[in-house]
Chain A
Amino acid sequence: SQELEQSPQSLIVQEGKNLTINCTSSKTLYGLYWYKQKYGEGLIFLMMLQKGGEEKSHEKITAKLDEKKQQSSLHITASQPSHAGIYLCGVEVTYKYIFGTGTRLKVLA
């Protein structure tokens, strides 16, 4: 079965700093989702990447899919306290989503 590994597991950055979160798949990536979760709450859809080399941006968040490396990266520019939360990558496999264990981000004001 497919597994997603995220790194780092947790991250603490000063407000205004840039950061990158990685998601590596054990199998070929045909598409990938990024979600954000506030602690103890539901998941908020950020973006979906459908093909290798694709790059999407939403406000100050940019995600890219590298299918050769079986990896996706999520980059936040000039982080803000509102970016704090848990970032989850996920793939859809036969009707279900498989998620990574998440990256916990804390942004210090």
Chain B
Amino acid sequence: DAGVTQSPTHLIKTRGQQVTLRCSPKSGHDTVSWYQQALGQGPQFIFQYYEEEERQRGNFPDRFSGHQFPNYSSELNVNALLLGDSALYLCASSSYRSEAFFGQGTRLTVV
């Protein structure tokens, strides 16, 4: 079982650019959540996708958007990047009543 896989592992972007991060959930999981973790902080919930719909959203601006595909994989898109968007982005997958399994994360650096 490959677990939750995220790509890319590292990314450097310039302010104002757009970025797409990808996540493949653990086999058998149908729910994908995205978190942002700034240095020295706990992960902050961005949004969750279930049945290809955004089910819940945290306190993040509309520049953060996502998508879930029929195979349950997901993308996180961030537009108009700011320096403050530099963080570790974590994807978590789960199914009904299961704990969340996290990927290794994508380290995004905005310069």
Residues of A within 8 A of B (CB): 4, 33, 35, 40-45, 48, 88, 90, 94-102
Contact = CB atoms under 8 A, between A and B. Distances in A.
B43 A43 contact: yes
Chain B's interface: helix, strand, loop or mixed, by majority?
Answer: strand
Interface string B87-111: 0101010000001111111010000
Contacts of A4: 42
A42 B90 contact: yes
Contacts, number: 55
A25 B52 CA distance: 33
Contact of B56 (A45, A48, A90, A95): A95
A93 B90 CA distance: 18
B100 A97 contact: yes
Contacts of B55: 95
B4 interface: yes
Interface size class of B (residues with CB under 8 A): 20 to 34
A48 B103 CA distance: 18
A31 B78 CA distance: 32
Contact of A97 (B6, B50, B92): B92
17 contacts: A33-B99, A41-B104, A42-B6, A42-B104, A43-B92, A45-B101, A45-B102, A88-B42, A88-B43, A95-B33, A95-B48, A95-B50, A96-B33, A96-B48, A96-B56, A98-B45, A101-B42
**4 A-B pairs with the lowest CB-CB distances in the bound complex, closest first:** A99-B42, A43-B102, A96-B45, A42-B102
